[in-house]
Amino acid sequence: MGYASPYLSPMVLEFTEAGIYCPPADAYIDPWRPVPRALITHGHSDHARPGMGAYMATQAAAPVIHHRLGADIRMETTPYGVTHRIGDANISFHPAGHVPGSAQIRVEVDGEVWVASGDYKVIDDGLSEPFEPVKCHTFITESTFGLPIYDWPEQDVLARDLNAWWAQCVAEGKRAVLGVYALGKAQRIMKLLDPSIGPILTHGAVEATNKVLRGQGLILPETVPVVDGVDAKSHPNAIVLAPPSALGSNWMKRFGAVSTGFASGWMRLRGVRRRRAADRGFVVSDHADWKGLNWAIAQTGAERVFVTHGYTAQFSQWLREQGYDAGIVQTEFGGEDLDEAEESAA
């Protein structure tokens, strides 16, 4: 899996079996095997994994990581933009706009700057710290949605569509049940919902993350956790936010007549929408779309780009044609997986 560099500029980061490795700092970024020292971009489970000797993350990302990996992990936190000297490397964290607390990690060794961006999106979602381009020589980018077919609607269009659907459900005497990621997507969508239509009910996995985020000072709309006695009768006008895996399960029976929806970037594709057999698909993602990826890469001023998870072959070829020195790196990052069940276990 190691990447044999054909390039003359130094490799500040190396791609190893365990993850993205920085030799001068003796630390890994988002490693997928247990290592002594891990720098974590954000709390999603394919980036923050258990078993590391020590963790470092932003102050805003730490509570969720603790919530998921345990209170007893060794964790050092940092504000955004503060440079830490680790070994012979200068390391700092910068907003990635993906979910609250998410970061791109900037690594500088002898004046050579690399940025590992983890997962990112470039629009302001009204919840996460907005993406900040960081100048660098080498940029490591995801490509979850790295094809020109992926183009996200504006946030206000999304809000209008969501609320129109919810209002229609209320008019038809149905509950709106929306499948969303528990961390990030759920809270982002809550903030787009119009509270005058009805109450927001939350599945346990979503509410647990709400609690963590509220605990660190984020302002979220009022939510009603789904417990015994919370059902179609008690909350007839409700919208219900639940992890995708809960849709179609027994858990949903309490809501009586429902209209189901999924909120994901994959909903851009009619085939995927239809396969999910949900009534509605809302195109919304915490990953950058095609334009966003291209914009972000241009902003970094990088000459060399490594493409991790997603449409790596297509996107790196495209970048090469745009004049970048672009290559593919195999990682174990998952991107946006509709069928990810772990969210409900969190």
Q: Which residues bind other proteins (CB under 8 A)?
A: 147-151, 266, 268-275, 277, 279-280, 311, 314, 317-318, 321, 338-339
User: Which C-beta is closer to other proteins: that of 79 or that of 148?
Assistant: 148
What residues form DSSP beta bridges with 200? 239
* DSSP secondary structure code for residue 153 in this structure: P
Q: What's the min distance (Å) between Cβ of 269 and other proteins?
A: 6
Query: What are the start-end ranges of the H helices in the chain?
Result: 62-69, 155-171, 185-192, 204-215, 270-276, 290-300, 312-321, 342-345
User: Which C-beta is closer to other proteins: that of 325 or that of 337?
Assistant: 337
User: Which C-beta is closer to other proteins: that of 199 or that of 327?
Assistant: 327
Q: What's the min distance (Å) between Cβ of 52 and other proteins?
A: 22
Q: What's the min distance (Å) between Cβ of 145 and other proteins?
A: 10
User: Which residue has 């979602």 as its token pair?
Assistant: 125
User: Which C-beta is closer to other proteins: that of 137 or that of 309?
Assistant: 309
What is the three-state SS of 106-117?
A: EEEECCEEEEEC
Please state, in angstroms and rounded to a whole number, the distance separating the CA atoms of residues 3 and 15.
6
3-state SS class at 178: strand
Residues in the chain, overall count: 346
The set of residues, in sequence order, having a beta carbon less than 8 Å from that of 294 and lying 6+ positions away, is 322
Please state, in angstroms and rounded to a whole number, the distance separating the CA atoms of residues 80 and 328.
28
Q: What's the min distance (Å) between Cβ of 314 and other proteins?
A: 5
Phi/psi region, residue 275 (left: phi>0; alpha: psi -120 to 50; beta: rest), is alpha
Q: What's the min distance (Å) between Cβ of 144 and other proteins?
A: 12
User: Which C-beta is closer to other proteins: that of 105 or that of 319?
Assistant: 319
Q: What's the min distance (Å) between Cβ of 202 and other proteins?
A: 25
User: Which C-beta is closer to other proteins: that of 222 or that of 339?
Assistant: 339
Q: At what angle do helices 62-69 and 204-215 cross, to 10 degrees?
A: 140
